[in-house]
Amino acid sequence: MGLELVLLLVNRPALQTLVDLSWQALYSGMEKGEFRQIRPSADSRLKRSFDIDAEAELLDWMDSCTVEGNPTTIDALSDLRDGATGLLHLMHYASPGSWEVWEGRAFLYLDVATGKPVPHVDALYSEDIWNETTRRLAGLPEDEFAESVCLDWMDRRKELGETLDEKEDPKIVPTYEAHNRASRTLVHAVTRWLGEPDLVGIIGREHLPAKEWGHGPWNLEGFLQA
């Protein structure tokens, strides 16, 4: 059904610990699984790769890089042409999980969250849209937002002349349940992002260049240039 929008929660202290390591210490530690104790606990409601998979993806990327000497990881990433990709791998490792949803469905959730239509696909990733989304979802009960999303979805189907009868369309109930679950999980992710000082939310999309992930000081390219 297309590309997925991603809200990646990143534990800042864990990320800082990793980027402060020397390049060789990071590689050696990832090979031996030595950093699993600093990796945040997985959030069962969010999506996250297994430790061994996250380590393998980072090591594969590091193998593709040419780094002279043994600089700190942050210095190495800053000097590499595609350092933002390595930083994104580290952010995934330093994450309790991510909220991910198809772009087509993201319009529904963000339209309801902001109270107005998101004008185009690029706006799904804009800082203004996410500032408004987090502001309006902060403190909102999951039930309330999920109900608003599901009602809006049903209204859209009616406007298009599509049925809401599960006997005519067996996908109605599974789709309703998916919207309900995704809406609740979005509120959960935003609540953690805003409520836990150690967490920051990074907005991106699969196949989007890593340097374009994140906003403001947490834009990955800007982070490496700071």
Place of tokens 């800007």: 222
Per-residue pLDDT tens digits for 209-219: 999 999 999 99
Which segments of the chain does DSSP mark as H helices, in order?
Answer: 12-20, 23-32, 51-63, 73-79, 83-93, 103-114, 127-137, 142-159, 172-195, 220-225
Low-confidence ranges of the chain (pLDDT < 50): none
Place of tokens 């706006």: 123
The values of phi and psi at residue 64, to 5°, are -85, -5
**Closest CA relative to residue 137, chosen from 184, 203, 201:** 184
DSSP string, 104-143: HHHHHHHHHHHTS---SGGGGG-HHHHHHHHHHHTT--HH
pLDDT attached to residue 165: 66
CA-to-CA separations, 207 to 100, 124, 126, 211, in angstroms, rounded: 13, 15, 17, 11
Contact 201, 7 (CB under 8 A): yes
Euclidean distance between CA atoms 87 and 149, whole angstroms: 34
pLDDT attached to residue 180: 96
Task: Kindly report the pTM of this predicted structure.
Answer: 0.94
Structure tokens at 84: 């933002």
**Closest CA relative to residue 80, chosen from 206, 13, 88:** 88
pLDDT attached to residue 173: 86
